[in-house]
Chains A and B, each alone.
Chain A
Amino acid sequence: MTPALVMQVALGGLLMGLIYALVAAGLSLIFGLMDVVNFAHGELLMLAMYATFFIHRGFGLDPIVQLPIIALLLFGMGVVIYHGLIARALSVRFNRGMVQIFSTFGLAIFLRGAAQFAFGGDFRAINHSWLAGRTLRLATLSLPLPQLAAGLVCLLAFAALMAISRTEFGRALEATREDREAVALIGIDRDRIFALGWGLGCATVGCAGAMLAGFYYVSPDVGANFALIAYVTVALGGFGSLLGALVAGLIIGEVEALTALFLEPSLKQVGMFAIYLAVLLFRPRGLFGTL
């Protein structure tokens, strides 16, 4: 095992970790805002990937160009899901925690079935795009351009999320998170903030999906695996923490890549789950969790 190989694998893990981090950021944002874990998060990623695939096939638009379209699409979807499902789940008097877990689980099963119905169970992939098949050579390292671009977009998306948190809207989000009753007194419409929060969280996962579709296959079940990693990432970084999601995503990506290299590829997920459990034993609320 040469140092160059280790470097190569570590870089690959870093780039994948950025995708994990962005998927987790959307989940974390929604959780932090209203204490709701969206168990259909992976299915939203899957839908974003399908949308990217079909727009590419139908109109020949490159995944990178599609980024704003998919983000907008998913934003709208998030708002619809909030008003159609989540607002109702939040308004029940009895058993609220369980209602929101199982209503989003129901949504996940429904969306997976819908994808199966509409697109069939085949694995699909975008084979011809601007970046597909190209690599960037740096000394002994070779970086596939689709992954590299995805990593960069993820970093930019994080920068955008940080920037949003400094705007008036971001402060309203933060205030609603801190005390959802009190914000009503200063004229913030809680329902509107929640809906926009869902839109933003889903747009985030939309960006990840659009970039992921550039180099990863799509199938109705693709979301499940990414979602599980996203839950681990959010729990590791701390629910509601943007920085936590970024750091945890990178850790998860690295642990996964290096376990596969040094131990055994089939055990790559056991390594990252074990790290997660170890951290939870010492920091039950994750690395950056304050909630």
Chain B
Amino acid sequence: MPPSEAGTAIARRRRLELSAGLVLLAALALLGLPIHDVYTQNLLIIALLYAGLAQGWNILGGYCGQVSLGHALYFGIGAYVSTLLFVRLGVPPGLGMFAAGGVAGAAALLVGWPAFRLSGHYYAIATLVVGEIGYLLFLNWDLLGGASGITIPFKAESLIDLQFRTSKLPFFYLTLAYAALAWTLAWLLEGSRLGFVWRAVRDDMVAARSLGVEILPSKLAAAAISGGLTGMGGAIYAQYVGYIDPDSVMTIEISILIALPAVIGGVGTLWGPLLGAAVQVPISELTRSYLGGSGSGVDLMIYGGLIMLVALARPEGLFGLIAGKRRIDAGFS
């Protein structure tokens, strides 16, 4: 196929994807209205939150190929920034979440600058360790609440403060907006020059460099966007649960939970994180509430078993089931 024709085909596909995204957004927005069951609402909220978080992780881990196992650091920083701004200085979290994204993005730059010199497993383990250092520092930092955490006082039902007590519905729309923002950003980036640079860096760093691609700045851009989105998610989570401590926002488990939807759904794809979150969150919540209540461990066994199964049986992610393997192999994924 001549280049111009390929270009039109890609442009057509991107328009189709955007329309599909808008239809899905409208469908989800309507879906929220008739649901009044609190358990189901909670499930949807968590799933949408993780869809956004995984979309953010996917920008660095998927498109740019830098497998981070320490995103809980940015999640936790985001949660702490908006919470502290609100509790100590009275800054409304509706604004604080953007500050949270900014600080978390800056933190990702700070981590990325030395860590991007490492490759492969060295990078993955360095991010794991940096995440753990963050956890330990916050655990021992008494000024920030230390191990006992921070309770967010409920002031009044308020949009700008992101505090809603009478219904969970506003949180549903908040997390829907967050997931939509992350998706739109990924869609924009996928078609941008930066998106192509990232995929080039991921697929063949030497070739990319020989074509004049600046490797480090492009990785840093991915880290900042990815960390920023994750930080915003942390701020939303803090307002949703009303209480944060290092154990609930900064552990390795959270780093894995953030990365997993993208891996399950399809790494480096636009729809993978969404699909992965739609599968992962219900499975983990349902196994926990039906099998894990007594702390029996059966929920973990099922959960771990499923992760192994999906990773081995569908290495390209569940998205491959829908899209067909050929299209993913054909590139632009």
Contacts and interface: CB of A to CB of B under 8 A. Distances in A.
A95 B133 contact: no
Given A95-B267, A99-B315, A274 B300 contact: no
Interface residues of A, number: 54
A269 B137 CA distance: 10
Interface in A54-107: 85, 88-89, 92-99, 101-103, 105-107
Interface stretch (A115-123, A148-156, A192-200): A115-123
B303 A277 contact: no
A285 interface: yes
Nearest to A285: B122
B297 A112 contact: yes
A106 B121 contact: no
A46 B109 CA distance: 36
| Interface SS of B by simple majority | helix
User: At the interface, is chain A mostly helix, strand, loop or mixed?
Assistant: helix
A97 B132 contact: no
A163 B143 CA distance: 53
Interface residues of B, number: 49
Nearest to B301: A113
Interface core residue of A112, A118, A280, A281 (most chain B CB under 10 Å): A280
Interface in B226-268: 252, 256, 259-260, 263, 267
Contacts of B118: 280, 284
A99 B314 CA distance: 9
Interface in A256-271: 264, 266-267, 269-270
Given A109-B303, A117-B298, A103 B122 contact: no
A239 interface: yes
A92 B320 CA distance: 14
A284 B267 contact: no
Given A98-B263, A231-B129, A116 B300 contact: yes
B289 to A, nearest CB: 15
Interface centre among A102, A105, A118, A228 (most CB of B within 10 A): A102
A11 interface: no
A132 to B, nearest CB: 29
* In the A-B complex, the 3 residue pairs with the closest CB atoms: A113-B300, A116-B297, A110-B304
Interface of A: 31, 35, 37, 85, 88-89, 92-99, 101-103, 105-118, 121, 220, 224, 228, 231-232, 234-235, 239, 264, 266-267, 269-270, 273-274, 276-277, 280-281, 284-286
